[in-house]
Amino acid sequence: MRYHLRKLSLEELILTNQSILLHSSVGTLKPEKKYEFAIDFTNDPYYGKVDSFNQDYVIRSQAKKSTNSFYSYVSLSIINKNERFTLAVLPVERNKTK
């Protein structure tokens, strides 16, 4: 799978991700029902080299797990009867505010 994912640019990967997640959720949401949403920010430790390919997506933050470099992403989920259903996952770009 990684081999095929490497063929995509980050922009193509984001658009494909959105398409898959939104397509799977369209039939399950009912307009007349109220939903609770959750927004999560997650930092995954990054130990590699920062280069021109990833420089916009490697975030510097307080040291954790022996590094202060992270890939950060935000996810949007619906909480329904104590279950989470993810609607979107997007990378956080460096120098962008929450």
Residue 27 has pLDDT above 80, yes or no: no
In this prediction, residues 18-35 reach a mean pLDDT of 73
Alpha-carbon dihedral angle through residues 49, 53, 55, 58, given to the nearest 10 degrees:
-70
Residue 73 has pLDDT above 60, yes or no: yes
User: Which of 98, 91, 97 shows the shortest CA–CA distance to 71?
Assistant: 91
Predicted TM-score of the model (pTM): 0.65
Name which residue leads in pLDDT, 26 or 57.
57
Q: Are 72 and 64 in contact (CB under 8 A)?
A: no
Q: pLDDT tens, 38-54?
A: 999 988 899 988 888 88
Residue type, 34: K
